[in-house]
Amino acid sequence: MATSYYSGKNNIMIKLMIKLKILTIICSLCVVPTEKCSGSIGYIANSTINIGDEIQALAVKRFLKQDAVAIDREFVHEFRYNKKIKTIINGWFMQHKSGYWDLLRPPPDKSWPPSPAIDPFFISIHFTGTFLSTVFSDEHIEYLKKHAPIGARDFFTLHELQKRNIPSYFSGCLTLTLENNYKERNDIIYLVDLDDRCVNYIKSKVTSPVVVVTHGRSMFPFLNHEQRLQYAEYILDLYRKAKCVVTTRLHAAMPCLAFQTPVLMLTTVRKGSPIDARFTGLTEHVKSCSREELCHGDIDYDFDNPPENPTTYLPLRENLIKIMTTWVQENS
């Protein structure tokens, strides 16, 4: 039977960040730059309950200089700057008032397209179903065509773009480009956003220590952008050194591929059935199964001696690195 424990360092870090945020909440929430900023390239930042959004931001920031400008995804339409700024736009776009989740600021009246101050470079982007009527209005289709080709993170988004004759290609997820500088692994299995049934099943099958992790916390919107990035880096370091990761989160599974950390991704349906649109084109590159298959013992996966990941993601990784490196060199 595995032992289960939580990192004391993790708990202390969370408490300190909450206290700091309470003291600085008014000045620290806004990541929309003012005309006083002077960065040369912009990138998408977030203020959501999902730290996976910051994992995507870290994947972008590693290609950029320190003066890169963070632009809140929810307020790209309202962004103002002292000049037109070239901006890498990636991630999950789902803006609509009924789905807005920042409890500390009211949602913007209009969230698309990006403001005239932004010269966009679209790569590794997902448009969720509820956002399609907005992003694919006649006016906004022309906007995307003007800034094409569009790099789609998944097949669903690619299909929706191509249905409307918007030049586009399948880029995959930028988190596939993250790096792992650690040479040794520990003996810890991380279970990331699994339900209790799956957690208990895995604990009953392993001898290695198990740690339960989540990418979603109600405290995250109370952290400023730098605090969110630091916490995301802390989470990624857990995965970099892990023996194995089992997750329902795309932005745990894709970084683990990049880190060569053995990973098993759980889906909500059985193999052969339709999957979450966000995962289309990506789950093909990672070992995966449904929650039901896991708990019924229908998956052959030794968590104590996890198999190596597939390497089919490598062409996507190499192409993303090439595209990002070239674009940054040309636009810095």
Q: Could you give the angle at the alpha carbon of 152 between the alpha carbons of 80 and 82, nearest 5°?
A: 15
Q: What pLDDT is recorded for position 47?
A: 76
**Distance in angstroms (rounded) separating the CA atoms of residues 108 and 111:** 6
Q: What is the DSSP string of 204-225?
A: HH--S-EEEE-SB-TTGGGS-H
What pLDDT score does 278 carry?
Answer: 80
Q: For 298, what's the count of Cα atoms within 13 Å in the CB-facing half-sphere?
A: 12
Helix (H, G, I), strand (E, B) or coil at 158: helix
Per the listing, tokens 């339960």 go with: 212
Q: Which residues make Cβ contacts (< 8 Å) with residue 77, sequence separation at least 6? A: 108, 110, 111, 112, 113, 114, 115
CB atoms within 10 A of CB 308: 9
Rg for the chain, CA atoms, rounded: 20
pTM of this prediction exceeds 0.95: no
Asked if 20 and 227 count as a contact pair (C-beta separation under 8 A), the reply is yes
* C-alpha triplet 247, 278, 52: angle, nearest 5°: 50
pLDDT averaged over 10-residue windows placed end to end, the chain, 332 residues: 46 47 39 51 86 93 90 89 94 65 67 93 93 91 97 96 97 97 95 96 96 88 87 96 97 97 83 65 92 91 96 98 96 86
Instruction: Give the C-alpha distances (Å, rounded to integers) separating 113 from 79, 137, 166, 241.
Output: 11, 11, 16, 40
Distance, CA of 234 to CA of 16 (rounded, Å): 14
* Most distant pair of Cα atoms in the chain: their distance: 60
Structure tokens belonging to residue 142: 């022309």
Helix (H) or strand (E) holding 8: helix 8-28
pLDDT at position 109 is 77
| Cα distances (angstroms) measured from residue 303 to each of 12, 33, 162, 215 | 29, 45, 40, 21
pLDDT at 39: 67
